[in-house]
Amino acid sequence: MAILMDGKAVSAAVREEVAREAAALTEQYRQPCLAVILVGDDPASEVYVRNKHKACEACGIRSLQYHLPADTDMPTLLALVQKLNNDPTVDGILCQLPLPQGLSEKEVILAIDPKKDVDAFHPVNTGRIMSGDYGFLPCTPAGIMELLHRYGVTVKGKNCVVIGRSNIVGKPMAMLLLNESGTVSICHSKTEDLAFHTRNADILVAAVGKPRFVTADMVKDGAAVIDVGINRMPNGKLCGDVDFEAVQQKAAYITPVPGGVGPMTIAMLLKNTITATRNHWEEEK
């Protein structure tokens, strides 16, 4: 039976560390500040933004929220981003994706100052991840690495397989594993004989968005299985990309859904905000 990698417990520990750092920065410099932009009324996005606001408040990070109507045009949105770029008291800027139809996510990401890009989506930051010289890490892959570290799962020399090649999870996840000397394969919808690759994985990361896609026969005995997926079933319950009940019988470590990778994402966003504040303080010295 696999050891459960408890994202709630680990994220709580990370948030405690963030709260201590935020308190120290507030005393010695100024209160860390995260600005979040939400455009439109997507219910899921509203929940995410609300959770981020609560997490900031709980950790002593100042939280600014900008809720724009769905019919906002690009010049208005970009003007707000520029205003926040120019505000020396704002450390991090996050624009909640997806944006309403007609707005360019690419333009918004490019407009955010890379030094305030706490999502690490700007090409400057993604390029730094490629080189291994990074300041911010994308929150979900960073959260996964934090889980691996805290549970003592060694990456060096291990066969690592990432299913999914998105810019937000798959690609940066592969680079972080590679930066820790893992032997990395990225699998996707065009991969031939996917199970051949997954059965050889010591560390398997599933980020495909298909309920219970990874079955027990696809998993190596004793593997660490990280489930990034979050899918709502017809009965309203959440499940991941991994057939949890069956796979936990074979794996050495496994993340649950919910309560695994999800809580880590916001925790790492808070950590990135602290990093941004420290960087701004260093620049001002």
**Closest C-alpha to 42, from 64, 70, 80:** 70
Report which of 52, 56, 57 is spatially closest to residue 67, judged by C-alpha positions. 52
**Paired tokens of 157:** 């020399």
The alpha helices in the chain, defined as continuous H runs, are: 7-28, 43-59, 74-86, 105-111, 123-131, 139-150, 170-179, 194-198, 244-247, 261-284
Instruction: Look up residue 67 and give its amino acid.
Output: H
Which of 171, 186, 37 is closest to 99 using CA atoms?
A: 37
- Contact present, 181 and 203 (Cβ < 8 Å): no
Catalytic residue among 91, 96, 227, 250: 96
Selecting among 91, 117, 119, 241, the annotated active-site residue is 119
CA 104 – CA 6 distance, rounded (Å): 36
* Known catalytic membership, residue 96: yes
Q: Which helix (H) or strand (E) holds 218?
A: none
CA distance 249 to 232: 23
* 119 is known as an active-site residue: yes
Q: How far is CA 204 from CA 1, 2, 217, 232, 239, in A?
A: 17, 14, 13, 22, 17
- DSSP state, residue 228: -
* Residue whose token pair is 């699998």: 187
Sign for the pseudo-dihedral over CA of 13, 16, 20, 26: positive
Distance of CA 180 to the CA centre of its chain: 18
Alpha carbons within 13 angstroms on the beta-carbon side of residue 144 total: 29
**Which residue numbers are catalytic?**
52, 96, 119
